[in-house]
Amino acid sequence: MNSFNQQEFSNYTVVGSQQATGTSTIAKKFMANVFAWMFIALGISTVMAVMFATNESLLQLMFTQTTKGIGLSGFGWIIQFSPLIFLCAQQAFCSAAYFVFCIVCRYYGHEP
């Protein structure tokens, strides 16, 4: 068993296999672009948060004085629930896209 030569099996080439050239550079550029957009969005969020936290007139857009005390204004409610609304809209879009995908697959005789 010790006389088994491992190198006999390491010097072969799979027929039809070629190294994809340039794929790694495309992937790196794509990921760098994604992270750049994420950085820009995070910067915008930071600037807006600081502006609303330090400017009294902007802060008053979010809150109103009522007889019961201080409450959220309409703009405040929109800000409060916008992430949830965004997620629901995204889920509805993905469900609709999957539904269309299933219809197209059935039309062409494939099972999704």
- Full domain range(s) for residue 44: 6-107
In SS3 terms, 2-64 reads as: CCCCHHHHCCCCCCCCCCCCCHHHHHHHHHHHHHHHHHHHHHHHHHHHHHHHHCHHHHHHHEE
- What is the number of structural domains in the chain? 1
Tell me if 69 is assigned to some domain.
Answer: yes
Better-predicted residue by pLDDT, 3 or 49: 49
Tell me if 93 is assigned to some domain.
Answer: yes
Tell me if 112 is assigned to some domain.
Answer: no
Q: From 48, 35, 56, select the one nearest 79 (Cα to Cα).
A: 48
Tell me if 77 is assigned to some domain.
Answer: yes
| Tens digits of residue pLDDT in 21-76 | 666 788 888 899 999 999 999 999 999 999 989 999 888 888 888 888 888 899 98
| Tens digits of residue pLDDT in 91-106 | 999 998 988 988 888 8
Tell me if 89 is assigned to some domain.
Answer: yes
Residue reference for tokens 């219809």: 103
Tell me if 1 is assigned to some domain.
Answer: no
pLDDT of residue 112 exceeding 80: no
